[in-house]
Structure formats: C-alpha cells, structure tokens
Structure 1
Amino acid sequence: MDVAAEESGWLPCRSPLDRLLEQVGLRRHDAHDGRRTVSAFVGLTWLPFVALELVVLAATGHLDPIFRAPGVHIRLLVAIPAYLEAEAIFATRTSVCIGRILDGRLVAPEQHDALRAMVRRSARLRDSVAAEIVLLVIAIGIGQLTIWNGQAGLFGYVSVGISAGLIWYGSVAFPVFLFLLFRWIWRWAVWAHLLWKLSRFPLRLLPMHPDRAAGLAFLVGPSMAFSLVLFGSSAVIAGTFAGIMLAEGTHLRSFGPEIIVLVIAGELLALGPLLVFYAQLVAARFAGHAQYGALGIDYDRLFQQKWIESGDTEGLLGTSDIQSLADIQNAYGGLDETRAVPFGKREILLVALALVLPMVPLLLIEFPVEELLTRLVGALA
C-alpha cells in the first residue's frame, strides 16, 4: 500500500461494502482477496440459482426459460467477477497515481496542502455511505421490476415470464450485479472528478519527460483497470446479442452499428477523463519548443563563434561540442513526440480489445465451428 495514498485517506477503501467484506473475512488485504470475494459472490448469486433450477427440472421435467438466457449466466459468471477483480487492480493503480500526485513534484510547494485536501475529499466521496445506500435501493428496485415484468434483462430484450428462477434472479442475483455496476460508475465518476480538479492546478509539466506525456502518463493506469469493467459489461451485451441471435435467427452483422457505438462510448468512458489535461499538455509542448529553441540558438551561436568564426579548428576532432549540438537537435525534435493527451495508441487499442473480445464467441453462433475451421484452412492454403 502506497504510504502517501494511506496517509491521505485514499487507501484503504472504507465504503460500506468494503467494511462488510472485511468483517466477514473476505477481504484481508492479501494476495487471495480477489479469489475469496469472487468465489463468495458467485456462490451467493449463481449456485443457488442453479440449485433452484435443478429442483424445477426434477419437479416439472423442464427448465425455466430464464435459465436458458445466455445473458443471465454471463452477468453472474463473467461480469460480476470482472467487476470484483477490477477493484483490486483499480486500487493499486490509483494508489500509485495518488503517490505520484502527492510526492511534491507535480505542483508548487505552496499548493501541496490544497492537493492533499482535494484527495481527502475525493476519498470521502468515493466511500460515501449515502451514495451506496441509494445505489443499492435503485438496484433492488430494478430487480423487482424484472420480476413483475417477467424479463431477464434491464431493457426487456428477453421475456421469460414469472417463475421461481426469475424470482431468485430478480430478488438477489440481478440486484447484486446492478449494485456492483452502479458502484463502479460512481467510483469512476469520483476518479474523473478528481482528475478534473487536478487539471485546475498549474501543473509543473516537463515537455521532455521520457513518457512522452510531460510526466502525466502514470495517470493512464486506472483507465486500464477500468477496461476490465468494460470487458465485463461488453460480455453482458454480447450475451444479450447471443440470446437474440438464437431466438430470432438474427445475423451478427445486424449488430454492427451497436458494436461501433459500444467501442466509441467505451473509449470515451475509459480515456475521456484524461482529456482534461489537453490544454496544459499543449501549452507545455509549446513552452518546450520556445525554451529548447532559445537554448539551441544560444548553443549554436557559441559553437559558431568558437569553431567557425574563429577559424581555429585544430581541437575540433574528438571534442564533445559536436555531440552536444546533435543532442540539442535531437531533444528539440523529440518535443514533437510529446502527446497532447496522457494516453497513446497502445491504450486506445487495449480498451478497444476489451470491448470487442467478448463479441468474438458470437461468431460460433453466426458460423458453425466446422465452417469457421474450413474458412481458416482455406485462408491459410
């Protein structure tokens, strides 16, 4: 745990759910926290659902329609574990960020206290008891709506009718999924707000920093953790598409516009909060061009006077002056590689991959396995 993050109150997280997990022994702040928490949530939501459906199958000879809805199982077996695993990664990445923000290098010394106060306020907002109660009430309310409407999804894409499985799903499993999702939206909004507040400070950026983001590339870490949340959410959407394809015979290409919108929206959600630093990064790059340009002029003039105008070239061979001249030129040229945003193409690609990867299994519905293998062999031949 980062000392600065701990002293500022950012870590450990003290929200009602975090405290509950600690009290029941699921969160002990060790390497097994994620496995224990995921196992407990799957045991709470999915295993009773399966047991109930086995009883229904034994009694009636058939399963409830909700049990055959792919999106239901994906929410419980993919999305919920993804949301829980992302929390540990997010805590680590934000801890590193808070440590870097508070280490005294990013702002002037007289603003350190204001920076620490900003982090403390964000931590209190993230762990707000009132916020989690509101989110839980909303999740429970939506779960009840799914029961009375006889639907397996939030927007009613799959109508299943009221059944024993739906009652359990709408009363327990679906609200748990929604609560974790809403909780993530809340935490991500708090982090985005913290970044916006940070961007209001006059940051001491270095246009020649090797991270090519004037020293702000470390802020991309939490966005990469959030991409795991996007993966889980995209898997749920893919499950909804799968249910429609199986029920209606719809082709995957008919969901092309939705997938494009999903990728764009996901990129904006994950990386959009970092755009608040655009103005300062552009200003830092312009300032760097001016500063290193002036340095280059001064050094070129001195080089000209010492070696060209004087006509004394006897000691030129082996001197470090020429190498220094080349280094200044390379440094000035390197300023063009300083980005106007903290993230680069790699991060954009990783977020897109997290959103698109869950859609790949839909190809098995669109094309039988034999047809896919035949096409692959034909492409390689």
Structure 2
Amino acid sequence: MNPTSQGHADIQSFSLVRDDLLFHLQRRVGLIPPAGLGIGRRALFYSMLGWLPLVVWAWGTGRMLPGGPGEPLLGHYGVHVRCLVAIPLMVFGEALAQRMVPLCFAQFVRTGIVGEALVPRFREVIAGGMRLRDRAYPWVVIGGLVVVWTTTVLMAPNPDEIAWAGDRSARTFGAWWLLLVVRPLFSVLLLAWVWRLVLASVVLVRIARLPLRLVPSHPDRVGGLGFLARLPAVFGPFTLAVSSVVAASWAHLVEYHDVPVPSLYVQMVLLALVLIVLVAMPLLCFTPSLLRLKREAMLDYGVLLSEHGRKVQRRWLAGEAGLDDDAMLNANELGATADTQTLYESVTRIRPVILNKGVLLAIAVPAALPMLLLVAGQFPVKETLLKLLTVLL
C-alpha cells in the first residue's frame, strides 16, 4: 500500500465520538453494542431516564396537569424539551459526526491539498487528535464541572425551576430527580459536545499550519477547501439542543409569569450569536492561509498573465515573427486572452473565509429556529395565515 492510500485509511478511522472515556463507559454498561454506536437505544434510554420518573411522580401526586397544587409540570416546557428533545438530539448528533468528520478530513488527501510527501505529517496530526481524544483529563474536567455546578444548584436552586415539585422548603422526589439526574445528564452531554468542538478546532488548526497545496483558481473560491463547509452541520444538533432548552424555558416565563416576548429579544440575539460564533470559529483558522494564497497568487498570476499579454501583443499587433510555436501562447491551460482574464478574475475572487451565506444559514437556522417559534407564538395563527393569504392572493 502506498503512503497516500495508507494515510487515507488512517484518516478514515478518525472519529470525534468513538474510543473516548465516555464511549468506553457506555460500552461497558451495555448502552453501546460491540458494533455501532447504539444511537437509538441510548437516545431512548437517556430521555426516558430523565423524563419518565418525573412524569410518573408528578401524575401520582397531582402535579402533572393544571388544577393541582402549584404550577403543573406540564407547563415547565424546559423540563420536557430537555429530556425529550435536547438529550436525544445530542445523542443522534453523534451519528452525524461519525459519518461526516472522517469524510471531511479524508478530502484533504483525496483532493491533493495534502500531497503525497505531506501525508506522513498529516497522519501525525490526525494521530495527535486521536491521542488527545482518548485522554482522560478532559473528562475529569467535565466531571468536575458537572459536580461543582450540580452542588451549586443544590445549595441555591432556581425557585421557579422546581416550583412544580411542591414546597420549596422541603425537597420532594421530583425536585431531587431533576437536580441530581436530569440536569447532570444534560450537562455531561452538553459539555461532551463542547469538548468535541474544541477537539475538532485543535485538529483543524494543526492542519492549517501544514504547507497545504491550495489551488488559487479553484471554483469554490477558497483554494479547494470548500468541502469543509459541511463540517459545521455536524454541530447542528448541538446548537438546536441548546437553543431549544433555553427557548422552552423562556416560553414558560411568557406563559406563566407574563414576561413579554419583546423583552427577550436582546437575549435571543446574544444566544444566537454565541452559538453561531462557536460553531463557525474552527473554520476561521484557514483565513491566514487563504489571505496568503490570494496575495501570492495575484502576484504570480499577474506576472504570468502580463507576459502572456505582451506576447499576444507582439504576435498580433506588432507582427513579430517567431512566436507561432511559443509554448505560452499555445498552452491549452491558458487558452485565449479572454480565458486568461477569467483565470485572473478567479484569483481576485478568493474569499478570506470558508464561510459563505449557505454555511452561515446552516449554522444559524438550528440556533435561531426555537427562538423564532417562540416569537411566532405571540401572533394569532388564524389571523396571521389570513394576512398571508391576503398578501399572496
């Protein structure tokens, strides 16, 4: 097997979600089978582990539906969304990461951006990412953060968050389960995705430092790195999960505490911006390379096409002999003068960032959708549809 194919095989084995400490713990207890990731069983198990005991207890004590003592559990949308939407989303997101990330990294070799001579160094970068993923200390930090945060919340919980669980002075089973099971479970999965985002960023930064063979005239306008535009979609379930939980908590405040939706607009914008920046930031590590590519390509192509233009002028305007067999004028790669102009324009249009409107939209939609639904909820559906029909018809 030649070095390039061997490197491709190693790169295809890279994963953000396999072989770390959390993966091995879940496999040891049987949640992850010997083959595959056990996505469906884990999503169902974790969501029911958090949600079902709360519902059974609330139903048995008359706190599930309106009409009972205090606020009903049904109205605490954040609890239900956290268990039934956010937790499964973060588990299902692992399947997307397992499929997309190795393909994106393999494209560096397949497209020739990582040449055969550079493959060993590229493989070492990937191997370094695997070693970093397999270390225990990130999970020790995650565990420590979850313990500290859980302890802090236990000492001073948000009164509104556990209002449905009964007397605030005496903790009930529902309150304990929410604080000791649901929140820590969600926090572990949330921080696991934050760590995966950091890990992907570290690997991309190390790749960006390699002497990559970017193509100035590539039609994707980013030197051939356009395939990386798919990478932010891997974190779409994560951003959707976070946004859903926060938006659901705000929906409870709007419904039960008369908080006006417009008063939340600033917080909504800030949350969306934070999520978009977090997911988009890893791709910005290639900006220095793209800026350098454009700067050098404009100089190099400027020299090449200037010489080509002078020879065209000498041949056709000055009538100079001896240029009929000139290699530059007869080169298929350059073609006619119009083709050289197109070539130079493609160089001048190189973008400094891989992000484009499509990528930003793919990042922004999961981050903003739950909040947009909350905003839309303040408008009467019937009247809104009638107005839309009036405008359209």
TM-score where L is the length of structure 1: 0.85
Shift of 1:227: 2.5
Using the alignment, how far apart are the partners of 1:58 and 1:247 within structure 2? 15
Candidates 340, 343, 348, aligned match of 1:331? 343
Using the alignment, how far apart are the partners of 1:245 and 1:5 within structure 2? 52
Using the alignment, how far apart are the partners of 1:66 and 1:332 within structure 2? 66
Deviation by residue 1:283-330 (Cα, 9 ceiling, x = unmatched): 111222222222222222332333332289xx9xxx999962221111
Using the alignment, how far apart are the partners of 1:351 and 1:83 within structure 2? 16
Residue 193 (str. 1) matches residue 202 (str. 2): yes
**3-state DSSP class of the match of 1:46?**
helix
Q: 1:59 to 1:247 in 2, by over 3 A?
A: closer
Using the alignment, how far apart are the partners of 1:175 and 1:185 within structure 2? 15
Moved more, 106-115 or 221-230: 106-115
Shift of 1:95: 0.6
> Contact 1:212–1:337 at 8 Å: present in 2 too?
yes
Deviation by residue 1:151-206 (Cα, 9 ceiling, x = unmatched): 3xxxx764523332121111111111000001111111111122222222232211
Using the alignment, how far apart are the partners of 2:6 and 2:124 within structure 1? 16
- One-letter identity of the residue aligned with 1:174: R
Shift of 1:271: 0.9
Partner of 1:279: 288
Deviation by residue 1:91-126 (Cα, 9 ceiling, x = unmatched): 222212322345593346554433322222222222
**3-state DSSP class of the match of 2:137?**
helix
Gap runs ≥5 in structure 2? 325-329
> Contact 1:34–1:84 at 8 Å: present in 2 too?
yes
Gap runs ≥5 in structure 1? none
Q: 1:167 to 1:379 in 2, by over 3 A?
A: farther
Q: 1:117 to 1:83 in 2, by over 3 A?
A: same
Partner of 2:225: 216
Query: RMSD between aligned alpha carbons?
Result: 3.2
Q: 1:172 to 1:204 in 2, by over 3 A?
A: same
Q: 1:327 to 1:19 in 2, by over 3 A?
A: same
- One-letter identity of the residue aligned with 1:237: V
- One-letter identity of the residue aligned with 2:236: S
Using the alignment, how far apart are the partners of 1:59 and 1:224 within structure 2? 37
- One-letter identity of the residue aligned with 1:52: W
Partner of 1:34: 39
Partner of 2:327: none
Partner of 1:86: 93
Using the alignment, how far apart are the partners of 2:179 and 2:131 within structure 1? 31
Query: In percent, how many aligned pairs have the same letter?
Result: 25
Shift of 1:73: 1.1
> Contact 2:7–2:120 at 8 Å: present in 1 too?
no
Using the alignment, how far apart are the partners of 2:157 and 2:276 within structure 1? 33
Using the alignment, how far apart are the partners of 1:59 and 1:358 within structure 2? 24
Using the alignment, how far apart are the partners of 1:365 and 1:169 within structure 2? 27
Candidates 328, 332, 355, aligned match of 1:343? 355
Counterparts of residues 31-70 of structure 1 (less than 5 Å): 33-57=38-62, 62=68, 65=71, 67=73, 68-70=75-77
**3-state DSSP class of the match of 1:294?**
helix
Residue 149 (str. 1) matches residue 161 (str. 2): no
TM-score where L is the length of structure 2: 0.83
> Contact 2:216–2:223 at 8 Å: present in 1 too?
yes
Partner of 1:167: 176
